[in-house]
Amino acid sequence: MATIEIELVLNAKNELTTTPSEVTQGDNAHFSSPNGALTVTFEPPNDTPFLTPSGRPLRTISDKRRSPLELKKDGTFQFVCTIIDGRGRAIVYGRSDGGTGLPGGTGLPGGTVIVHKKA
């Protein structure tokens, strides 16, 4: 079981890139961004590859979480990404309006991670 650092980076066009974008079920993953503090949210109707210890969907992950999480499910998972930049501004990818009252909805796509079934 590998530990994977999934890095979310804003490119020169201010678009969100996910590296790596493909991982394997059973690996452990941690999200981070060099662009600021990060929160990843798998909102319904989108599914999440992560489960709580009791087996419920784990929908929100912060880069403040120290230990990586096991990728429990395979599939293609889309998520909303919120990056708090160095000026304290929330930049939200995956919602056109900023959604939860946070300013900065970009209208640009959020992230996608593909989890391949464990061989």
Centre a 10 Å sphere on the Cβ of residue 119 and count the other Cβ atoms it contains: 6
**What is the per-residue pLDDT across 7-53, written as a single tens digit (0 to 9) for each?**
999 888 878 899 999 999 999 999 999 999 999 999 887 899 999 99
Instruction: Enumerate the domain spans of the chain.
Output: 3-116
* Residue range 112-116: mean pLDDT, rounded: 94
Least confident of 16-25, 64-73, 103-112: 103-112
* Mean pLDDT for all residues in the chain: 86
Global confidence as pTM:
0.84
Q: How far apart are the first and last CA of the chain?
A: 12
Q: Return d(Cα 16, Cα 40) in angstroms, integer.
A: 12
Q: Which range among 10-14, 73-77, 98-102 shows the weakest confidence by mean pLDDT?
A: 98-102
| CATH class assigned to 3-116 | mainly beta
Peptide bond into 68 cis (omega under 30): no
